[in-house]
Amino acid sequence: MSALSYLTPDQLAGALKLRDLSDPDQGAHSMQLLLEELVTALQQQWDSSVRWVRNPPLVAVHDNYDRLGYGPGDVTRAQRYTRYVSPTVLLRTHTSAELPTALQDYRGRSDVDELLVVPGLVHRRDVVDRTHVGEPHQVDLWRIRSTPRTTDEDMLGMIGTLVDAVLPGARWQTTHVEHPYTLGGRQVDVHTEGRWLELAECGRIHPEVLHGAGLDPQTWSGLALGLGLDRALMLRKSIPDIRCLRSSEPRIAAQMLDLQPWQHVSSLPGTRRDISVVLDDSEDDETIGDRVRTALGKDADLLEAVEVLSWTRCEDLPAAARDRLGITAGRSNALIRLHIRPLVRTLTSAEANDLRNTIYLAVHEGPMPS
C-alpha cells in the first residue's frame, strides 16, 4: 500500500478483525484488570456513576477531527499519519472520537456526575520498536458534570488517582500541552526505573466541545483524560516488549492474565540485517515503520525494531554515490537496520534474508540494483 492511499478492502477487514485486548468479550487479558482498577479508583474518589462506551474503530472523519476542534489544515489529519478508508471515514486515531456523540446523551439531564469510560483500539502509522505498534489500545476517561465548577484542582486530583492506580507510589509531574478539545491541557509523566516516561494527557473539556454536543458550558463542565493502555500495562508489570501483549507463546501468554510482575522468559537469539534504500525526503521513522508493517502483514511481529542509522539527502551525497543509487533531487539515501527477534521461534538465515528482501522491495523507491 502506498503511504498516501486509502486502505484496501483486505486491509480494512484485517484491521477490524484484530482482537481488542481491552474487551472481555474477546477473551481475558491483564489489560482488562488494569482498566478495571483505574475505573474503580476514579469512581470511588468521586462517588460518580460510570458509563462504558465501546464501539468499533471505524468512525467519521467529522467525529475524529472536526467535532474535537481540529482545524482543516492540522498536520494530524494527513494521510501519512492516518488510516483513511475514504475521504469521510477512517480508523479512529484516538478513542476521543467517540466522546462528542456520547456527550449528546446528556442533553436535558441534570444532577449528572458521571465517568465516561471509552476503551478500544486506535490506528496510527508509527515506528517499529519495543514500545510501539500501529494498533495500540487507548482509553478515554472523561468526567462529565452538570455544573460549571470543574477546576484544575479537580484535574490534578484525577491525575494523582490515576498514577497511583497504574504505578502505586510513583512520582509524577505535569507539563502544559495544547489540545483543541481541552483547556489547561497537561501531559502526565511518571518516574520509573530512573527515567521519566509519558503516561497520559488530560485537560478540562473545552466549552466548544460541550456546546457542539448540545450542552451549555455555563451549566456543564468536565475533565478529559487519554491513556495508552499498552504502555500503562507494560509499566505496571515491567513488560520489556510490547509484542508480549499479544504473544501466543505459553510462558508469555500465561503472564497476560494477571497483574503480577513480569517473570523473565529466555529470549530467542536475534539477528540483524541492514538495507540501503532511496526514499522521498518527506518520509520519516513513522511512515517507514508503517510501510514495513504493511509489507510483512502477519509476520510483522518477527521484527523487534526498525532503526534508521543514517539519512543523507541527495545533494549531500558524493557524485559517485548518486550515480550508483540512481538518486534524484527530493530523495534521500537511508541506511536502515532491521532487528529481527521473534518471540516464539528462531528464524533461519534464509528466512531472515527473505524478510529483509520483502522489506527492501516495499521501502526502496529508487532503481533496483542490477
Q: Are residues 137 and 91 in the same domain?
A: yes
- Spatial neighbors of 90 by CB under 8 A, at least 6 apart, are 58, 59, 61, 64, 82, 83, 84, 123
Q: Are residues 211 and 125 in the same domain?
A: yes
Give how many domains the chain has, as a whole number. Answer: 2
Q: Are residues 96 and 158 in the same domain?
A: yes
- Model pLDDT for residues 218-231, shown as the tens digit of each residue: 999 999 999 999 99
248 in a domain, yes or no? no
| Average predicted confidence (pLDDT) for the chain | 93
Q: Are residues 196 and 297 in the same domain?
A: no
245 in a domain, yes or no? no
Q: Are residues 221 and 275 in the same domain?
A: no
Strand duo 137-145 + 171-176: pairing: unpaired
- Model pLDDT for residues 253-304, shown as the tens digit of each residue: 999 999 999 998 867 788 999 999 999 999 999 899 989 998 998 899 899 9
CATH number at residue 359: 3.30.70.380
Q: Are residues 140 and 285 in the same domain?
A: no
Q: Are residues 227 and 321 in the same domain?
A: no
Q: Are residues 51 and 193 in the same domain?
A: yes
Look up residue 29 and give its three cell numbers: 487479558
Pick the last residue of a domain from 237, 255, 288: 237
* CA 313/CA 329 separation, integer angstroms: 8
Q: Are residues 221 and 331 in the same domain?
A: no
**Nearest in space to 200 (alpha carbons), one of 129, 134, 140, 125:** 140
For residue 18, what is the DSSP state? S
- The residue written with cell numbers 468499533 in the block is 56
Report whether 306 contacts 338 (CB < 8 A): yes
Q: Are residues 61 and 150 in the same domain?
A: yes
- Model pLDDT for residues 298-342, shown as the tens digit of each residue: 899 899 999 999 999 999 999 999 999 999 999 999 999 999 988
Instruction: Provide the domain limits for residue 354.
Output: 271-363
Flag whether pLDDT at 17 surpasses 60.
yes
